[in-house]
Amino acid sequence: VRRVRIGIIGTPNVGKSVIFNQLTGGKAWVGNWPGVTVEKKVGKLVLNGYEVEVFDLPGVHSLTPYSIDQLIARNFIIFEKPDVIVDVVNASNLERSLYLTISLIEMGVKLIVVLNMIDVARSRGLEIDHEKLSKLLSTPIVPAIAIKGIGIQELRSEIVKVVERKYEYSRIVNYGDDVEDVIDKIIQLLKTSEELSRTFNLRFLAIKILENDGQIVEIVKSKLSSNIFSEIEMLVNNLKLKFRDLETHIIECRWRRVLEICREVIKPVRKVSITISDILDYVSTHKVLGIPIALSVIYLLFTFSFSVSSPFSDLIDLSFSWLADSIHYVASLGIINEVLESLLADGIVPGVGAILVFLPVIALFFLAFSILEDSGYIVRIAFLVDKIFAKFKLPGRTIIPLIMGFGCNIPGIIATRTFEDDRDRRTVALIAPLSTCSARLPVYIVIGLILFGQYLGTVVIIMYIISILLALVVGFLIKSLIYKGISIGFTMELPPYMIPYWKNVLVKTWERTRRFLTKAGTVILMGSVLVWLLSVTGPSGWIGPEVFENSELLEQSFIGHLGHFLEQVFKPMGWDWRLCSALFFGFIAKEIVVSTLGILYGVGEEPLAISEMVASTLTPVSAIAYMVFVLTYVPCLATIAVLRGEYGFKYAGIALAYEILLAYVLALLIVQVGQLLGVG
């Protein structure tokens, strides 16, 4: 078998990941906004006896990288040398895509162009003459509607053909006599390095040198003798005397070629007046209506998740109660001993159960979220808030990591890779954990269910608003004090609205839900066992399962001591020792706050029962303070680990420290204000 490596590249949001999934049966993340993929992802398939490795890459506009995700894509294409590059272009917006295509042709690689989204092009009244395009570019073209699987079979056979065909270079752009002359001279000089000639297309290197591409210049310099390299430098400098801005000249020549090609191949077949997408666009990005609409959409998302999920939650609740009863029954028969009975019935069932009853809410939330993500609405929200965010010195794009963070903070932090400005990127990474993730939702519900009753929905929405406001304010402070500088204006393209593709939505919902389930089965399970263990033991040694019937006894356990110590730390807030120790274990993962309460109150896994116990120890104001504390104090251990991985130890430490401090100050403030107003 021969091994073949293929890289899928293209401008952002053209359907690369969809094509990757179709080719490999993979599960790359797909979403209707630019910047979904931020990492290269590999998948495998077998084609005509070839073992093919396919790489899905982040979107790029050119081979000049501006952000980390773009650098990943460029470096793969230039330095890891895939055998074939599949360049996905957007048929409904060809001008935007072809610049990259032309740059790839210049690189001198075996190329296949997938002309994707011809359905969208058609709906806009455009037809592309793909045969002519193929001639002009001297590359095979595969028209496709990737989302429907159209063109994928053709792409497969084209891959085999291209692999077997000998490669022929064709010059795609003419940069004018002066420049071409210098390019030829540079090529002659580059030829002196056998290694360079073997690994790169020399014309490509020459052009990149003229474009002043730092990385390429470094490589060339290291492979050539110094006098040859200085000859090249002289050629370049002489040329620069003729052109005020050589780089711009090169870019302009490419653009001119792109427009020439577009003129020849794009045929408007009919006039389109206004599409539904245009109308939706007008309304959803409206200056006045936009924000109220966004809030209503988010409100609907929650109402939908809560109302549809409640019968399912009841069912899970019932199964856990039944499980607890069965454990007691089995124990009464003498099959398991008292300690095991307690571990299962007092530790694991209430600990894991208290979180699993939220599975339906969270799954539906993920479903609604995935639909939103695929429709194209998220970019509209980014567009809407751009002006508001600018007042806080943050780019509108910031909203994307924050919204992603509503699901889980980890993808939120990874999404910062798409930021072009390093200061913005670091700022947003520091505030991304303030986004209230789905793990915090059960805490709000359990704390507020009884205390706020029918107003719980409003309180939860307010928590989301607080979360965004906090992120804005902290971001503003960081941008004003540490990473000074203004952010450039809105740079994201608005993709058209699309009807979400159900398969895609289901895959994403399932992936997210599966992660939640895995967490329940691992981290939360272990957390529950830990809390149980620290409850039945104390400084005096083994105490025994009686603690769960006798709260005075429980207070003598390790957890009791810990809780009472923390109760002093949080004295002004007036939180019960159980609530305080729950915060301690919530360090591991926020869900464990709820699990700990489930175990310590000894009332089983039912949210209503736990909430009743909570309500008996908290005033509404101290409850709000508690919720805000949980929102702010730390993300989970996993998030801290990712922050460390992406930005280093120092960053993770800074995030951790400022969040604990901020949480404490905010909670204190809320309680104080409550007392001033006489509602504490």
**Where does this chain bind ligand GTP (CB under 6 A)?**
10, 12-18, 30-32, 34-37, 58-59, 116-117, 119-120, 145-147, 374, 498, 501, 504
Could you tell me the smallest distance in angstroms from the CB atom of residue 69 to Mg ion? 10
Task: Quickly count: other Cβ atoms within 10 Å of residue 573's Cβ.
Answer: 21
Q: Pick the closer one to Mg ion by CB: 58 or 347.
A: 58
Hey, how many other C-beta atoms are within 10 angstroms of the C-beta on 506? 13
Tell me if 37 contacts Mg ion by CB under 5 A. Answer: yes
- Mode of pairing for the β-strands spanning 84-90 and 41-47: unpaired
Q: Which is nearer to Mg ion, 17 or 67 (CB)?
A: 17
CA dist 64 to 84, 103, 211, 420, 483, Å?
20, 10, 10, 12, 25
90 within 8 A of 128, measured Cβ to Cβ:
no
Report the alpha-carbon distance of residue 212 to residue 230 in Å, rounded: 14
Residue closest to ligand GTP (Cβ): 59
Residue 636 interacts with, from ligand GTP, Mg ion, none (CB under 5-8 Å by kind): none
Residue 114 parent element (H or E): strand 110-116
Q: Could you say which of 11, 17, 622, 632 contacts Mg ion (CB under 5 A)? A: 17
What's the min distance (Å) between Cβ of 10 and ligand GTP? 6
CB contact at 8 A, 605 and 357:
yes
Q: Helix, strand or coil for residue 550?
A: coil
Least distance from C-beta 73 to ligand GTP, angstroms? 9
Provide the minimum distance between the beta carbon of 382 and Mg ion in the complex, in angstroms, as a whole number: 17
Pick the piece of the chain touching Mg ion (CB under 5 A) from 33-41, 324-332, 366-374, 543-551: 33-41
Instruction: Check if the beta carbon of residue 70 is closer than 8 Å to that of residue 528.
Output: no
- Which entry of ligand GTP, Mg ion, none binds 12, CB below 5 to 8 A by partner kind? ligand GTP
Which of ligand GTP, Mg ion, none does 34 bind, CB closer than 5 to 8 A by kind? ligand GTP
Q: Pick what 18 binds: ligand GTP, Mg ion, none; C-beta below 5 to 8 Å, kind-dependent.
A: ligand GTP
The entry of ligand GTP, Mg ion, none near residue 639 (CB within 5 to 8 angstroms by kind) is none
User: What tokens were used for 192?
Assistant: 């002196």
Q: Does 36 bind Mg ion (CB under 5 A)?
A: yes
CA distances from 627 to 436, 460, 667 (A): 11, 10, 9
User: How many residues does this entry show for the chain?
Assistant: 680
Shortest Å, Cβ 419 to Mg ion: 17
Name residue, tokens 């870019």: 251
**Nearer Cβ to ligand GTP, position 497 or 575?**
497
The residues, ordered by sequence, that sit 6+ positions from 157 with a Cβ below 8 Å of its Cβ are none
What residue 498 binds from Mg ion, ligand GTP, none (CB within 5 to 8 A, per partner kind)? ligand GTP
Least distance (Å) between residue 375 CB and ligand GTP: 8
Pick what 607 binds: ligand GTP, Mg ion, none; C-beta below 5 to 8 Å, kind-dependent: none
Closer to Mg ion by CB, 16 or 578: give it: 16
CB of 31 to ligand GTP, least distance (A): 5
Q: Which of 36, 656 has the CB closer to ligand GTP? A: 36
Least Å distance, CB 269 to Mg ion, is 30
CB of 417 to Mg ion, least distance (A): 13
User: Residue 577 and residue 563: Cα distance in Å, rounded?
Assistant: 4
From the list Mg ion, ligand GTP, none, which binds 117 (C-beta under 5 to 8 Å, kind-based)? ligand GTP
Which 3 state secondary structure label does DSSP give 47? strand
Angle, CA of 315, 321 and 324, to the nearest 5°: 145
Cβ(382)–Cβ(460) below 8 Å: no
- Reading the block at residue 319, the tokens are 């199964």
Q: By the criterion CB under 5 A, which residues form the site for Mg ion? A: 16-17, 36-37
